[in-house]
Amino acid sequence: MTPSNDASDHRLLRYLMGELSPADKDRMEARLAEDTNMRARLDRLRALHHTMKVPERRFETGFAVRVMDRVRQADPVPAFDRMLQTVFLRLAVVVLLMITGVGGYNLATHDDASASTVEAVLGLPDVTLTAAAHDTLVPSDE
């Protein structure tokens, strides 16, 4: 938009809002009668002005209270999500019980007294170089 269009659009907007003096209003109407481009710009401004008018909205008394009551009554977790939570919680309990059972079994059956409790619970073998060499190089007496 050129500066002259800016100025004429400003005058068109003032014309649309009824802010022009009677003499300026007469000159604007005479120019609008002659200039089709200016009439088109006035129509666009009129449509924009109409679009920009926001009607005042009023809510009835107690609207916010009713909305908040409905929010409180709404189910915060859908049924499918609740079912998934239940399944995964049960699965987690089963896995923890299995880990505890295997760890307890390993601790009870571990025969190396020099091993730490963690090694015994996890069932880790003795992995020193001496033990590794002994297991692989020396045949067992079985």
Say yes or no: 44 and 87 in one domain. no
To the nearest 10 degrees (0 to 180), the angle between helices 36-52 and 3-17 is 60
**Residue ranges making up the domain that contains 117:** 79-137
Looking at the chain, the whole-number percentage of residues with pLDDT higher than 90 is 16
In a domain, 12, yes or no: yes
To the nearest 10 degrees (0 to 180), the angle between helices 36-52 and 22-34 is 120
In a domain, 48, yes or no: yes
In a domain, 61, yes or no: no
- pLDDT at residue 139, as a whole number: 53
pLDDT at 119 over 90: no
Average pLDDT in the chain: 79
- pLDDT at residue 33, as a whole number: 92
Number of domains in the chain: 2
Mean pLDDT confidence for 128-135 = 61
Domain stops at, among 33, 52, 71: 52
Say yes or no: 43 and 84 in one domain. no
Name the amino acid, one letter, at 141: D
pLDDT at 138 over 60: no
Are 13 and 45 in contact by the 8 Å Cβ rule? The answer is yes
pLDDT band at residue 131 under the 50/70/90 scheme: low
* Interval 28-60: pLDDT, tens: 999 989 999 999 998 988 888 777 776 667 778
pTM to 2 decimal places: 0.36
In a domain, 65, yes or no: no
* Interval 77-105: pLDDT, tens: 777 888 889 999 999 999 999 989 888 88
DSSP 3-state assignment of 142? coil
In a domain, 71, yes or no: no
- pLDDT at residue 1, as a whole number: 47
pLDDT at 126 over 70: no
In a domain, 68, yes or no: no
Using only C-alpha atoms, the chain has a radius of gyration, in whole angstroms, of 43
Say yes or no: 84 and 131 in one domain. yes
Say yes or no: 133 and 87 in one domain. yes
- Give Cβ neighbours of residue 65 (< 8 Å, ≥ 6 apart): none
pLDDT band at residue 121 under the 50/70/90 scheme: confident
Domain stops at, among 37, 52, 67: 52
- Residue 104's nearest CA partner among 125, 92, 122 is 122
